[in-house]
Chain A
Amino acid sequence: MHSFGYRANALLTFAVTILALMCAMASFSDNLSHPSPSSSVQVLNVNWFQKQPNGNDEVSLTLNISADLQSLFTWNTKQVFVFLAAEYETPKNSLNQISLWDGIIASKEHAKFWTHTSNKYRFIDQGSNLRGKEFNLTLHWHVMPKTGKMFADKLVMSGYHLPKEYR
């Protein structure tokens, strides 16, 4: 009852239980913070807008993305993955989400940023529906914790239009 084996077993079980409890509490503490992020995006230029040989429309944009995501960071935050998606509807598809740009914010200091960039990922439609298309630019963020539950949210910015003609 008091051998080394029993004592080691009891100690190990207790240590693992306490560790698991601490991880759960750390994760729970994330629920107590109420973030208030803000963002704005401008489409500075439509670089080109073509129909590909396979029949799909493709457009290249230059964007100015600025955001303040500092309120998302808690002591249990490892990094925030942020991306900007163009979201629109077509006759064939009820929803299309195309990620145009993404970035990883590793610390609170870098969470207030702006970037002047062309789209990192190609904006290609399934079909030829983009002429004159009205679309939303939604900034999504995914918070990856040091331990525990991951959570995500987004900010929808609407009112963007693509040109009526190819160029």
Chain B
Amino acid sequence: MIFIFHIFLHTHPSEEAKKKKKMEWIREGVDSIKSIQLRQTLSQAVNLGLILTSALIIWKGLICITGSESPVVVVLSESMEPGFQRGDILFLHMSKDPLRAGEIVVFNVDGRDIPIVHRVIKVHERQDTGEVYILTKGDNNPKDDRVLYAQGQRWVQRYHVMGRAVGFLPYVGWMTIIMTEKPIIKYIIIGALGLLVITSKD
């Protein structure tokens, strides 16, 4: 059948035959591009999506388990030295247990966007409501934190507190500090990673 077809084409190139040949050629070309490049690009995109979403799942899962909106924080200041140095990371946990003196808490102050990680030195807990009024101080600071609180605020309360520090790893947080203080490095790393993903063979 094909032999006859070829003979037909080569010996009688009619208008219809020419058109058919062109259509076939176009279809073949489109098919070949589709099959290789589209599949590869799609599978790369799915892989990337899988990596990103599993990272997100782990992060959100940690938020649920620890009960804290920010389960891992990086120490930014020297106010808790020599115990916590700049660049260390702290693992936070927020349980329903009452806040007590000596605990290291991470809390927000109205008007400040970076939370503070200091130790509780005074606690006053109300008989009737169980509400607690705490005063904090950094181990390495000469004075307590009242100067850091918002205008007119004399105590920190439970709703300010994001979590208690329960564990710690040294040095691991330096990457975050470098990327925050020199954002150009963040862009270089993201650019390099992006290039790696695109140019990798699988």
**A and B bind:** yes
A106 contacts across to B, CB distance below 8 A: 82
Contact partner of B121 among A83, A104, A146, A147, CB < 8 A?
Answer: A83
Question: Scoring B residues 102 to 145 as 1 if CB is less than 8 Å from chain A, else 0, what string do you get?
Answer: 11100000000000000101111111001001000001000010
Using a CB–CB cutoff of 8 Å, the interface residues on chain A facing chain B are 5, 23, 27, 78-79, 81, 83, 85, 91-99, 102, 104, 106, 121, 126, 140, 142, 144-150, 152, 154
For B166, give its contact among A83, A85, A150 (CB under 8 Å). A150
**A-chain residues with CB within 8 Å of residue B166 when the two chains form the complex:** 149-150
Q: Name B residues whose Cβ lies closer than 8 Å to a Cβ of A.
A: 82-84, 100-104, 119, 121-127, 130, 133, 139, 144, 165-170, 196
A99 — nearest CB in chain B belongs to which residue? Answer: B121
> Does the CB pair A92–B123 fall under 8 Å?
no
Using Cβ atoms and an 8 Å threshold, which residues of chain A touch B196?
A: 5
The reply to whether B125 and A95 form a contact with Cβ atoms under 8 Å apart is: yes
Bound Cα distance from A39 to B196, whole angstroms: 60
A79-B83, A83-B101, A85-B102 given; name 11 further pairs at CB < 8 Å.
A79-B82, A83-B121, A85-B101, A97-B100, A102-B139, A104-B139, A121-B144, A140-B102, A142-B102, A150-B166, A152-B102
Chain B residue contacts of A152, Cβ below 8 A: 102-103
Majority DSSP secondary structure for residues of A touching B: strand
Question: Chain B: which residue is nearest A79 at the CB level?
Answer: B83
A81–B165 CA distance with the chains assembled, in angstroms? 14
Cβ contact within 8 Å between B101 and A140: yes
A121/B127 in contact, CB under 8 A: no
Q: With A79-B83, A81-B139 as given contacts, are A144 and B168 in contact (CB-CB < 8 Å)? A: yes
Subset of 10 A-B contacts with CB under 8 Å: A78-B82, A83-B101, A83-B121, A91-B127, A93-B126, A97-B122, A99-B102, A102-B121, A121-B144, A144-B83
Partner pick for B126 among A79, A94, A104, A149, CB 8 A cutoff:
A94
B16 to chain A, nearest CB (A): 51
Contacts of B84 in A (CB 8 A): 144
Measured in the bound complex, the distance between the Cα atoms of B170 and A146 in whole Å is 8
A148 to B89 Cα, complex, angstroms: 10
Kindly state the separation between the CA atoms of A121 and B137 in the bound complex, as whole angstroms: 11
Complex interface: chain A residues within 8 A of B103 (CB):
152
